[in-house]
Structure 1
């Protein structure tokens, strides 16, 4: 008989489903909602591939079979296979608490060794001049600071320092913070843009909205911070939306797909044959700095690369075609 001062354990309640356990663990570890959706999708595909068997009854052999199938039958890119592998390793290590032996028998998808697409200075100017409105401001910021697309889209007001002409990039790739430059030519247009964003935020507050998403459960530690001006996105969405996790109506950041489409259209209108994307502006930023004589360590720091070997890929621009060798045809 249970003691009257202690709650009786509910033995009839069902334990959470596997995918719910994965989702909860991802949120505890502060993974983004995109990573959450991606990992859940790969785990579902893995379970279906093995006839809906519970992953607990499967192991390294079954994981190897699935990853090999992706490479051989699915002909997926190496990055896609690695993404699936990361999802399954998370499932086993973090949720099922099973340590898989090293996956030696996986047929690896071949990672192509490609040089980054880089635009010339005049091509960058032409592309940026064709971007409309806020997309032009974001595009200029990508090229002027070297930020990744989502780093710029998720930028908060408090992380723009006009006095020091700096931008603090929070939770960049690998959950690392870094400091990059704020181009002087963008100070005036960015200040003008923020005046409009502030007016929009004040309207939201007047209508009892104005709350923004805060990372790492800061909304519990600082309940009012989500309404503060400094935490608002520099590039907010035009419309309010319901947060799929909390159900709270908020103004999220702008959709990155709009800029992607705008740059694609600009490239098409200019007749450029290079497959340029927003990320091409980051590649061009690094390349043009090296061409201007800045040392590679400085560029590495601005880009946020943990290893200088990653930044070394841009040094190909320091040589002429054929690694600086003069063609014998040009000597005739």
Structure 2
């Protein structure tokens, strides 16, 4: 099933249009599940009713989360609307409503406790998540050319929704990042000596055959192993896998004895936004730094603060006793 000509055609279609590897894997996963659910019938002979039946099965029989159900729908919408050119139209399908859950955030003291229990590399990773508001995948994909130590900024490439954005960089990270750049540079020189370099986006390696020798393309957090590029099959060094950071965080949280909160990599991004709003930063600025398309997504952090707008005080605070 994984090597079927039909799925290979979808894979090639997505790669020609620059979809990320993560999106490719996710969409193919749900398309395969959809075909299996309908007894391996070709999607050409299935209709929007079959799509609704599959989504209902996910919700009622497999009890998947709302966001998972939405991802499956996005995959099938891509399959029919774009690849097969058979628009689904209005499915008449309504997602179950998800109750709003406020994100967990960390205090400055809790962040310090966690960072103190991480090794050097992981401490820099989580310092960037907290200090710049990056997602863990965005942080690990950083290349040396994305770091501007003079203007104290980071450029996040091909983020959620395929967008690029700039965000701030703390001056306290200049020396640690310089140390990581020096290590990455030495590693690249060793790799280049045997004809290997960092993994390059899309087909850039074919367009610029010597790009792998340019220091700017080297990952700030390179993997410790060599692998085959998933598209070209060329041996290369990819960036660190996010499971490495997640495992390190789990150990650090346990050592810090912070067992009363749900803490994951994304918690540091939530904490970044909350701290900025608490210090009086404009919500539009925070929206831009986080890369949110809609300000309503950013507004969730005002509720984390227990305020409808950052900086708003209770009328009781104005009374003197």
Aligned length: 309
| CA–CA separation in structure 2 for the residues paired with 1:326 and 1:264 | 41
Matches within 5 A, 1:302-321: 302-319=289-306
Matches within 5 A, 1:194-205: 194-205=181-192
| CA–CA separation in structure 2 for the residues paired with 1:76 and 1:109 | 11
| CA–CA separation in structure 2 for the residues paired with 1:112 and 1:319 | 17
| CA–CA separation in structure 2 for the residues paired with 1:155 and 1:112 | 34
1:221 Cα deviation (Å)? 2.6
Q: TM-score, normalised by structure 1?
A: 0.88
Q: Which residue of the other structure, out of 240, 260, 263, is the alignment partner of 1:254?
A: 240
Partner of 2:230: 244
| CA–CA separation in structure 2 for the residues paired with 1:17 and 1:165 | 48
Q: TM-score, normalised by structure 2?
A: 0.91
1:100 Cα deviation (Å)? 1.2
Q: Are residue 234 (structure 1) and residue 220 (structure 2) matched?
A: yes
When the two chains are superposed, the root-mean-square deviation of aligned CA atoms in Å is 1.9
1:190 Cα deviation (Å)? 0.7
The DSSP-based 3-state class of the residue aligned with 1:56 is helix
* Runs of at least 5 residues in structure 1 that lack an aligned partner in the other structure: 1-15, 328-332
Q: Which residue of the other structure, out of 271, 275, 286, is the alignment partner of 2:273?
A: 286
| CA–CA separation in structure 2 for the residues paired with 1:299 and 1:26 | 32
1:319–1:89 distance in 2 versus 1, CA, 3 Å: closer
1:133 Cα deviation (Å)? 2.5
Q: Which runs of 4+ in 1 moved over 3 A?
A: 317-321, 323-327
**Contact 2:196 2:212 (8 Å CA) reproduced:** no
Partner of 2:140: 153
| CA–CA separation in structure 2 for the residues paired with 1:132 and 1:276 | 18
1:225 Cα deviation (Å)? 1.5
Q: Which residue of the other structure, out of 166, 169, 189, is the alignment partner of 1:182?
A: 169
1:107 Cα deviation (Å)? 5.1
Q: Are residue 74 (structure 1) and residue 62 (structure 2) matched?
A: yes
| CA–CA separation in structure 1 for the residues paired with 2:47 and 2:221 | 45
1:318–1:81 distance in 2 versus 1, CA, 3 Å: closer
Q: Are residue 135 (structure 1) and residue 114 (structure 2) matched?
A: no
| CA–CA separation in structure 2 for the residues paired with 1:207 and 1:17 | 35
**Contact 1:156 1:234 (8 Å CA) reproduced:** yes
Q: Please say which structure displays the higher CA radius of gyration.
A: 1
| CA–CA separation in structure 2 for the residues paired with 1:48 and 1:164 | 52
**Contact 1:77 1:110 (8 Å CA) reproduced:** no
Matches within 5 A, 1:113-128: 113-128=100-115
Deviations 1:195-217 (A, max 9, x none): 1111111111112212x222242
The DSSP-based 3-state class of the residue aligned with 2:160 is coil
**Contact 1:179 1:302 (8 Å CA) reproduced:** yes
The DSSP-based 3-state class of the residue aligned with 1:174 is helix
| CA–CA separation in structure 1 for the residues paired with 2:295 and 2:94 | 29
